[in-house]
Amino acid sequence: MTTALITGATAGIGAAFARRLAADGHDLVLVARDTARLREQATELHDRHGIEAEVLSADLATEEGIGAVERRLGDPRRPVDLLVNNAGFGNKGRFLDVSMGDELRMLKVHCEAVLRLTSAACEAMRGRGRGGVVNVASVAAFVPRGTYGASKAWVVQFTQGVAKDLAGSGVRLMALCPGFVRTEFHERAGMGTGNIPGWMWLDADKLVAAAMADLARGRTISIPDPRYKALMGLVKLAPRGLLGGVSSRAGRRYGPS
């Protein structure tokens, strides 16, 4: 039986990945900060699907947390076959309204943790000749979105580059770029969502199903909804200045995880 490790596993897209992978018969390593919530989730998935669900409490904004997950990914006695780098958060406010500490914490989670965990996973997977990594980014990667969008743009570029470097190794990598997803993300960040049209909201379980299909097809970028595929096509044609103005008025509201 294969094993998947999911960061940010207790809510939103991470929880949807856990449900889908458990239903497919994968054992799980569930990573998040809330130990009690992790244990509750692990018990529920074990009882419902008969899989083994390991709990790993870790804060990926800290050196200790990243190191703990790195060590788990590199453990040769308990191989991980699929890594889902989903942990992330948003900051409320425009640039200079957010403290430098919060900005750096975001980069730690969105960039450094993704870099280090992808590296740890891929090194072990390449040695076995198989494995997969899904790095959760955002459609915010394709528009000017301040620190959040810049960090997600880095995730996309990084994932594509590593996928190219590891081509032929048996290790697949994909950047998942959702739009607005009905999760706890915006509430945790203190962001209002009343001005977001209903058609822009995605269901987390359907999103994950589309992402898994794209990973199986060998895609390195997944925008898992026709509406957002069309929207991102228009973004490519729009002047950068116009995008910047729309982005500024919208605030930092793109956030899937």
Q: How confident is the model at residue 126 (pLDDT cuts 50, 70, 90)?
A: very high
* Domain-embedded: residue 237: yes
Cα–Cα–Cα angle for 115, 73, 167, rounded to 5 degrees: 60
Rounded Cα–Cα distance for residues 196 and 176 (Å): 21
* Domain-embedded: residue 23: yes
Q: 131 with 170: CB under 8 angstroms?
A: yes
Q: What is the pLDDT of residues 43-85, one digit of tens each?
A: 999 999 999 999 999 999 999 999 999 999 999 999 999 999 9
Q: Which of 142, 148, 158, 185 is catalytic?
A: 148
* Domain-embedded: residue 152: yes
* Domain-embedded: residue 256: no
The encoded tokens of residue 47 equal 């009882």
DSSP 197: -
Nearest to 135, CA basis, from 25, 5, 241, 251 = 5
Cα–Cα–Cα angle for 165, 170, 173, rounded to 5 degrees: 55
CB-based burial label for 239 (10 Å; 0-12, 13-18, 19+) = exposed
DSSP 141: G
Q: What is the pLDDT of residue 243?
A: 37
Task: Inform me whether the pLDDT recorded for 161 exceeds 80.
Answer: yes
H and E: helices and strands count for the chain: 10, 9
* Domain-embedded: residue 234: yes
At residue 97, the 3 state secondary structure works out as coil
Question: pLDDT over 70 for what percent of the chain?
Answer: 81
What is the domain-level CATH number for residue 44?
Answer: 3.40.50.720
Q: What is the pLDDT of residue 90?
A: 87
210 vs 240, higher pLDDT: 210
* Domain-embedded: residue 147: yes
* Domain tally, the chain: 1
* Domain-embedded: residue 257: no
* Domain-embedded: residue 255: no
3-state secondary structure 57-89: ECCCCCHHHHHHHHHHHCCCCCCCCEEEECCCC
Q: Is 254 a catalytic residue?
A: no
Could you tell me the pTM of the whole model?
0.86
Q: Which domain holds residue 87?
A: 3-250
